[in-house]
Amino acid sequence: MRGSNGQRRKGWKIAGALLIVAGLLAGCGQGENQAVNNSPSTDNQATAKPSEPLKLSMMNMYYSAEPPKTDNEAVKMIEQYTGTELDITWVPNSAYNDKINATIAAGELPKIMMIAGNKGQGIINAVQSGLFWEIGPYLKDYPNLSKLNPMVLSNISVEGKVYGIFRSRPLAREGIILRKDWLDGVGLAEPKTIDDFYNVIKAFSTMDPDKNGKADTYGMYEGRGLNGFQTILSWYGGPNLYGIENDKVVPDFLTKQYVEALKLYKKLYDEKLINQDFAVVPGTKRQEAVNQGKAGLIISTLDDVNAGFNDLAKANPNAVLDVVSRINGPEGERLMLFNGGYVGAYMFPKTSVKTEEELKQILGFMDKLADKDMQNLFEWGIEGKHYKVENGKPVRTDGKAYETDINSIYQIRFDDGSLADAGEDAPIVRKYKQMFKDNADIAVANPAESFQSPTLAEKGSEITKIIQDARVKFIMGDIDEAGWNAALEQWKKSGGDNVIEEYTAQYLQLKK
């Protein structure tokens, strides 16, 4: 795979194609020294111990206030365990795309690229130009990579082929976070049905749940993105963004279930049970509303309950939060598969990873990164510093140090946490973790997750806005059902029909 002029011309073609789509890419970094050792053995066992560290470059993002320190102890432990020497370029989330463009312009790519927007048209173009290794055929040779969820692998695939290792997320992650003390105060039980859900919201709005003698609470707080809409749509039996009807791919907003969900939102709005300014409120304000005692519930990722409401506890030590995940609707209990079951993927450019042998070495590193010891490192940190062991279980001892040392590098992690030791978590944490496991069985997948639409790539923002605007107008009463149907027709004529045709053609091809 080295040396020929034809291959050099192919490399130039790949690099040129990548530069063209640079503005759309979502992850890359700098090249580094060639790797050694660590290719999988023929008996499918873990990689052999290297005689010298495997030098790898990676670009990744961070969400903390400051980038991880260069002497981060956890990174050193990863290097020691995996037999590597890591050169990680850390970039703040807000500047990630800009840094990607600059790195591409410099003509240097890392061996391992964490690509957040792996379904962006720029990445799709780069894949189709031959920039990235197809890794699907190699996964079976690695103990951990061979166990990656097949459905999620399908979701990240391009034209049926796998080009990356996805960063796993719980399959059904969203639900209701509510004030349990308010629920008890108004004399209601945990909602089990859509009617129960409405009744809880109404009680939180009208029965003075905070006992201050004022009508100053909302049952549910919403943001301009209608963050809870997809979850409510799942309760009504709607599809996850797209569904299949008579061998045709159909967007969720063309279904009757979508209209039912809209009508519930309109009812909540008309009765002033949700905040009337939802159309202009950032989604982050929803947690703030709960923290300030303005609202009794939000629909969110359930694990937010563990980190997003510290201000509530400070303001009201008697406040109690709880989580609810399953609501029984017309088609039983259903939840949307969260974000396809992943957030971003690791991909490996051929311009940096030049041989199949080197690719296998890197996949060996990725495989070891998902071992039990590494999962425990990400989950709990370093024993004696971030946790201690009591009764055979890890117990967090220094949350602040964990945030600084481990959470700052957490974006490296891609495993699903299934091998990590169960610890002495708070009851609410144990509850939502069990929900994540139980709800995987009722997660509704998007059948078009792996499809590409040239029309959507070209006109996506324009035609998506038609639906988003009409949805808000319907809820606020500016248009009726006839107006909603008119917006659907506008979407179809503006390119929507082409999207349906393009997706349906791919669905039928895969069905053969």
| Three-class SS of 253-319 | HHCHHHHHHHHHHHHHHHCCCECCCHHHCCCCHHHHHHHCCCEEEEEEEHHHHHCCCHHHHHHCCCC
For residue 195, the tally of other CB atoms under 10 A from its CB is 11
What average pLDDT does range 310-332 have in this prediction?
95
pLDDT at 35 over 60: no
What distances in angstroms separate CA 310 from CA 273, 306, 307, 371, 430, one per listed residue?
Answer: 25, 8, 7, 32, 18
**Res. 105 pLDDT band, cuts 50 70 90:** low
Query: Tell me, what's the pLDDT at 326?
Result: 97
Query: Tell me, what's the pLDDT at 117?
Result: 80
- Distance CA(144)–CA(86), nearest Å, equals 21
What is the reported pTM? 0.80
CATH 3.40.50.300 fits 54-170+341-418, yes or no: no
Give the 3-state secondary structure of residue 206.
helix
Q: DSSP letters along 326-347, please?
A: --EETTEE-EE-GGGGEEEEEE
- Distance CA(204)–CA(294), nearest Å, equals 10
- Distance CA(175)–CA(299), nearest Å, equals 5
Q: Which helix (H) or strand (E) holds 322?
A: strand 321-324
Residue 326 phi/psi, 5° resolution?
-110, 125
Please give the sequence-ordered ranges of beta strands (E in DSSP) within 132-282, or none if there are none: 165-168, 174-179, 218-220, 242-245, 248-251
Q: DSSP letters along 385-434, please?
A: TTEEEETTEEEE--HHHHHHHTGGGGGG--S-STTSPP----HHHHHHHH
Q: For 347-374, how does the pLDDT look when each residue is reduced to its tens digit (9 = 90+)?
A: 999 999 999 999 999 999 999 999 999 9
Tokens 């109404």 — which residue?
Answer: 202
- Give me the amino acid identity at 78: I
Give the 3-state secondary structure of residue 115.
strand
More reliable by pLDDT, 45 or 458: 458
What distances in angstroms separate CA 283 from CA 49, 269, 466, one per listed residue?
Answer: 47, 17, 20
Contact call for residues 280 and 224 (beta carbons, < 8 A)? yes
Contact call for residues 296 and 217 (beta carbons, < 8 A)? yes
Residue ranges per domain, the chain? 54-170+341-418, 173-336+420-448, 451-511
- Distance CA(357)–CA(363), nearest Å, equals 10
The CATH number assigned to the domain with range 173-336+420-448 reads 3.40.190.10
What lies within 8 Å, CB to CB, of 261 at 6+ separation is: 229, 232, 233, 236, 238
pLDDT at 20 over 70: no
pLDDT at 500 over 80: yes
Q: For 380-432, how does the pLDDT look when each residue is reduced to its tens digit (9 = 90+)?
A: 999 999 999 999 999 999 988 998 999 999 999 999 999 999 998 889 999 99
**Res. 49 pLDDT band, cuts 50 70 90:** low
What average pLDDT does range 316-340 have in this prediction?
95
Query: Tell me, what's the pLDDT at 7?
Result: 39
Q: For 113-168, how does the pLDDT look when each residue is reduced to its tens digit (9 = 90+)?
A: 999 887 877 788 889 989 899 999 999 999 999 999 999 999 999 988 999 999 99
pLDDT at 24 over 50: no
Q: For 241-269, how does the pLDDT look when each residue is reduced to its tens digit (9 = 90+)?
A: 999 999 999 999 999 999 999 999 999 99
> Would 54-170+341-418 and 173-336+420-448 be classified into the same CATH topology?
yes
Q: Which residues of 327-357 are buried (b: 16+ CB within 10 A; e: fewer)?
A: bebeeeebbbbbbbbbebbbbbbbbbbbeee
Name the token pair of 140.
């079976």
Mean pLDDT of all residues belonging to the chain: 89
What distances in angstroms separate CA 447 from CA 89, 120, 150, 504, one per listed residue?
Answer: 35, 18, 14, 10
**Res. 8 pLDDT band, cuts 50 70 90:** very low
